[in-house]
Chains A and B, each alone.
Chain A
Amino acid sequence: MKKIDTRQGWMGLLAKAPAEAVGRYWAALGMAPAFTWLRTPEIGGVMVRGRMGGTGAPFNMGEMTVTRCALRLEQGGAIGHAYVQGRDKAKAEQAALLDALMQTGDADSVRVGVLEPLAAEMEAVAATRAAKAAATKVDFFTMVRGED
């Protein structure tokens, strides 16, 4: 399982997760902490860069949509940030709340109730694709030549 114990890890997981899945686990968690916005959800673009030849100097490819926000929990004052792929403001809000809660005493419930099952679900999808790709791997065999 990919590391979700670090802040980098869980923020990355939430950024890549489908909005539907984040919403589903968030609802199942059943928490509704009071918070104040530090930055209301904002939709923007991030310029994605590649490298020439895969490893060389960088160049600009094109943008991707990203939604970001930041908030502070009323209780305890933990600050949650979110930078998530796409244009779903609800997903960004949930991701920021989860990020904030991971810095509180609720961290274990969030990890068990949201992060771990979400990571497992996404890993299963990736594993299925990898297995389908593996089934299309070519096995070469050499024909015996008959001339001599």
Chain B
Amino acid sequence: MYVAVKGGERAIDNAHAWLAEERRGDTSVAELSVAQIREQLALAVNRVMAEGSLYDPDLAALAIKQARGDLIEAIFLIRAYRTTLPRIGNSNPVDTGAMACDRRISATFKDAPGGQVLGPTFDYTHRLLDFKLAADGEAPEAPQATPGNADVPHITSFLNRDGLIQTEEPGDETPPDLTRAPLEFPASRALRLQSLTRGDEGFVLSMAYSTQRGYGRNHPFVGELRVGRVAVEMEIPELGFAIEIGEVQMTECETVNQFTGSKTEPPQFTRGYGLTFGHAERKAISMALVDRALRWQELGEDNIGAPAQNEEFVLSHSDNIQATGFLEHIKLPHYVDFQSELELVRKLRAEVAASAKRDAAE
């Protein structure tokens, strides 16, 4: 029997009103502004932009406030907003070699041209709670030094010069866009990178970690990690030339991985690549390791059945909005579904009971 159910509107309205009140919290505590979130919770804002797949710090900060700090909920809000935006166009590929670097380190070359620039990092802190932050908001002014005017070339370009690392062939083909066409397998590397850069940080981290622990090991070195601002350029059809339409903070990670070689090609290092919006090092490094693991076929490696080598597994489960949508929908009313299950179980139990009775009688 199908029973249509209506009702609950008043309960829902009241629940949302209470949500708004709880979001505000104790009114004797000053309200948090969107600008405060943008400026002081910048790494949360960066994560929401990267996984929400939309670079707009003010919107990401608003989403965090609305979601009460639940970052996946905030990402959901940004993804929903993103779908309402008309697509004005596509940028030219950004030139990360021209990045204005806040940070640039290499774990492979101590004396890299351009130097090791630590930038604003948590590295080398003692991870002790700083109770001064609870007492006041004063911050010391950061020291300054005269910057060198030298370029900061990609580290892999040195290896490339000697043929020691596999080259990345430049191209200008239009890359596939998973926001426009459904993901299909086998996926191209372009599609994998798009999926990974918007994938859940925790998931991509765990996949990367699994390769380090032996499930598809690829011996990565962080050839280079850089964080900074990159100009975004787009061709403007009505003008007939390209202009810069903005500037975006990005994190880029290039890994130098175990080498391959064959009878025809001498041994050379291989690469993994990570590029994300905002300052997101853990994500960029993770992305590079998973990118490298997923390239096993193209690099002629064995499929050892590791999860990180399985593109269908990785790409189908990396999106936290898809995952949370499917997972959380099971808490919504399933009365009719459940009723049919209930009837089936009752019927089966009745049959079992009846046959037991028959057996006892015989």
Q: B147, A46: Cβ atoms under 8 Å?
A: no
Given the interface contacts A12-B231, A12-B244, does A133 sit within 8 Å of B89 by beta carbon?
Answer: no
The stretch that binds B, out of A26-34, A51-59, A104-112, A113-121, is A51-59
**Which B residues touch A7, using CB under 8 A?**
239
Cβ-Cβ contact count across A and B, 8 Å cutoff: 230
- Determine how close the nearest CB of chain A comes to the CB of B19; give it in whole angstroms: 26
Question: Taking the complex as formed, is B70 at the interface, i.e. its CB lies under 8 A from any CB of chain A?
Answer: no
B190 in contact (CB, < 8 A)? yes
A42 and chain B: residue at smallest CB distance: B86
Give the Cβ gap from A16 to chain B, nearest Cβ, in Å. 5
Residue of B nearest to A8 (CB): B243
Contacts of B58 in A (CB 8 A): 86-87
State A50–B120 Cα separation when bound (angstroms): 24
Q: How many residues of A contact B (CB 8 A)?
A: 53
| Bound complex: CA A81 to CA B93 (Å) | 23
* Across the A-B interface, the 6 shortest Cβ-Cβ residue pairs: A56-B168, A85-B246, A53-B168, A12-B244, A131-B144, A57-B171
Contact of B246 among A51, A54, A60, A64 (CB under 8 A): A64
Contact residues, A69-123 vs B (CB, 8 A): 70, 81, 83-87
Is A65's CB within 8 Å of the partner chain B? Answer: yes
Tell me, yes or no, whether B87 is within 8 Å of chain A by CB. Answer: yes
A24 CB within 8 Å of chain B: no
Cβ of B175 and Cβ of A83 under 8 Å apart? no
CA distance in complex: A52, B274 (Å): 8
Pairs across A and B, CB under 8 Å, 21 listed: A15-B245, A16-B247, A45-B85, A45-B87, A46-B232, A47-B87, A54-B97, A55-B168, A57-B170, A58-B171, A59-B191, A62-B52, A63-B53, A63-B85, A65-B55, A68-B88, A84-B246, A85-B246, A86-B58, A132-B144, A137-B145
CB distance from A34 to the nearest CB of B (A): 22
CA distance A138 to B106 in the complex (A): 11
Please, how many angstroms separate the alpha-carbon atoms of A63 and B144 in the complex?
34
Report whether B273 and A52 are in contact in the complex, using a CB–CB cutoff of 8 Å: yes
Instruction: Known A49-B94, A54-B252, A58-B172; judge A134-B239 contact (CB<8 A).
Output: no
Establish whether residues B93 and A49, one from each chain, have CB atoms under 8 Å apart when the complex forms: yes
B245 contacts which of A46, A61, A70 (Cβ < 8 Å)?
A46
